[in-house]
Structure 1
């Protein structure tokens, strides 16, 4: 077809569902016939292709394979279907299995495969669909600015579909990732709050929502070691390539084994001071008596302040501006906003457990009026109610 078409949103079909996109408008303007993604019947799709459809917009590889099975192996589909019958979306999916070459350490072998991977990346969106990429300042209002700046780990209260709980055993690499993270903490390379920021927030919304839990932790390990100059990025890339070559074709039941190139003296490794002053005392016990008198006591009414949020906080968005009651005066510690940057002279402050009425917290709550929610909030975020 003369113009590549991708399914960036949805395409309006005969039933009127979905929305019309720029791509579909351009297609109709050029009198191109498209099979919409809402058609999920192989016989109908075959008939429409035979009738001269210019493109198929489709969601799932399995559906595509059932439609194209008569044309031979899936890898040969792009060569056997006339270009006028191919959409960019279709091309990306038919090459999906060939992209495994990259995962196996083999280079991409054709421009078509590289284009297919770029198409896949382009479909990964974390933006408002009504706004263009890199919008001009007049298109971004204050509410959307706040949303863009929101730390991505603060997902409490956001609308979402129910998730099915699966009691799945951790994989070997997940266990080992946990061990690495703990060793880095014990050796003074990072603080727990620093790890939470690097592994949860700095990765961005797409990775936070799209990666497995320990996948983010593993990414944060690489990040902190590079940022603190313990290893170089090129060094890491070379080692990754070496390991991929060592296990070409997959683990096949083998256990990953480390092959360090050498053993050095760790005496000169820069470590945070926390690992020294907290030894034998614990955290937050090490800060006891350092925050002065608490500003609030149990039973005091409070309001959560609506402070501007940049980069990191652990005070959830859904309680900001809400009225609550002090349920417990908990402990003294630097606030998350300070501890995450490993600020040496961060002043400890009091943390409180604050109780909120669910009926006042959630606009659509229809449960018992006595139901409550409790969460931990540092003193800087609270004012008298």
Structure 2
């Protein structure tokens, strides 16, 4: 149940309870007032009848002398010298008694039939019921409108938070909810402040990454050139190998810096996806000197022509395959189905953190998947974002890691 429904039900319950209590109080007060009027009427009758009797000796106004039905409590009060009234019985057979002692020592009394309801009480009850229902309906309408306004503003803040979490750090919650001084506006302001601080930290991180990568590129190139001049031998091979690893790391950092800049654009072409994947895997086999049978390509259904950037798709596949060979276990199976390419290895699968949060730079995952800088999957996700594609990480039926690239539908190449 949403906040709007909960607030509406709370307002409705509170207003209904308040109206019910008020209606019961009004009706009981009216009933008590009617009983008091009846008592007053009986009291006036016995008072006038007693005055006439003391003068004429004759009971009048419906009064009776020494009525044997006089309630005992009323009789005792009269014997104490009081003029009193007393109610007996319940609805609909209630009676109001009034009695007073007269000069000759006898008890003069009158009795009136009392009915708690009459036309006026029925009309009052009906008015209270109709008015209560109408008021509850009006309160329900107002509460729904008020709760809806509050709910919409909170939903707007939540939507802005999701946009910020998705990477849109320029999203503004205050712009969504408007300027005000309530708690929702305070929440929106706090969210915008947090986003601004996060934006500053990310900008600083991006600048640092780009600066470090650019500053390292020249000395690493020089280091690699110098390593090639070393005399043959095992130490020289180790130096050259580490220099190449360092160069790949710098190139990866530069590529990530370009993604962070937000200026990367896709160069779209019409590509037959199945045939392209075959050729991309063949090129990777030659470049990486992969063992025979380490990578397998399966096509399901007819080959589909897609509009995409083949260089970026090949980069994504290369990173996924290399990641699977390095951290998982062969064979790496690529399955092409329509616009979707799934890459599955036979290792221990991706760590739970990656499945929940996506790839992060400089986090290589669980120990059982080996060591690394965590940049390969980050770069693959960056290329997928530029392509407008979805790169979904999961667990294959065999238990290994599964990465599914879903290319978007496009019919025309953007000019």
| TM-score in terms of structure 2 length | 0.18
| Higher share of residues assigned strand | 2
Where relative contact order (Cα < 8 A, 6+ residues apart) is larger, the structure is: 1
